[in-house]
């Protein structure tokens, strides 16, 4: 689309490169005025930009056909839901390992963080015990969730129920780091001020 625009001529005979050079580095240019000059629609431009965003490809497999595929409820969501593939009871203040039947080939320089679902925590008092749980890029086994019952009531997890959410996050893997010992660590603005030093 942009290449096509550059080859077009506008009312005064200028092409896109000429128009851009006239605007130069002027930060006060009204984008809407510029869009009108090019006869562009903002929605069309946003769609064009979105279609050119490089996607990170992530492969996965399932141990049974009824395991739910990983998918985001909304395009702007950070995490996708993980579902239990079995019925299981959690007794008061009990913890259980919940299977999801999902295997994910995590791309290099990424990890999966397994986090509690806010609705499950609020309504049933269930949370991911080690939230966020870390799934390293080298792990290729089944994704499982350590679920904890914070209540004094027995709670049943049903097959097909959402139990957690998974967030794919960039991370610096250990192979990119080199630790070396120093006699002392140089002071910074916080020094050793932590544990509530900025207020409760």
CA-to-CA separations, 37 to 12, 47, 119, in angstroms, rounded? 10, 19, 48
- Measured distance CA(105)–CA(135) in Å, rounded: 10
Structural domains of the chain, with CATH: 2-51 (no CATH), 59-176 (2.70.40.10)
Of residues 95 and 195, the one with the higher pLDDT is 95
Could you read off the pLDDT of 99-138 as tens digits, one per residue?
Answer: 999 999 999 999 999 999 999 999 999 999 998 999 999 9
Query: The whole model's pTM is what?
Result: 0.71
Residue 31 banded pLDDT, cuts 50, 70, 90? low
């Amino acid at each position: 689309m942009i290449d096509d625009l550059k080859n077009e001529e506008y009312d005064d005979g200028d092409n896109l490169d000429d128009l851009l050079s006239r605007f130069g580095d002027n930060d006060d240019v009204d984008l809407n005025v510029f869009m009108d000059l090019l006869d562009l629609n903002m929605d069309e431009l946003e769609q064009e930009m979105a279609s050119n965003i490089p996607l990170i490809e992530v492969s996965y497999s399932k141990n049974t056909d009824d395991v739910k595929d990983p998918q985001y409820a909304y395009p702007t969501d950070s995490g996708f839901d993980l579902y239990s593939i079995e019925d299981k009871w959690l007794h008061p203040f009990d913890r259980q390992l919940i299977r999801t039947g999902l295997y994910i080939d995590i791309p290099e320089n990424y990890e999966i963080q397994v986090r509690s679902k806010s609705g499950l925590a609020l309504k049933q008092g269930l949370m991911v015990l080690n939230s966020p749980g870390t799934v390293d890029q080298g792990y290729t086994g089944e994704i499982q969730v350590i679920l904890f019952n914070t209540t004094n009531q027995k709670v049943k997890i049903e097959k097909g129920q959402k139990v957690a959410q998974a967030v794919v996050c960039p991370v610096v893997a250990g192979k990119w780091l080199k630790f070396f010992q120093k006699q002392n660590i140089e002071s910074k603005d916080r020094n050793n001020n932590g544990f509530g030093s900025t207020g409760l």
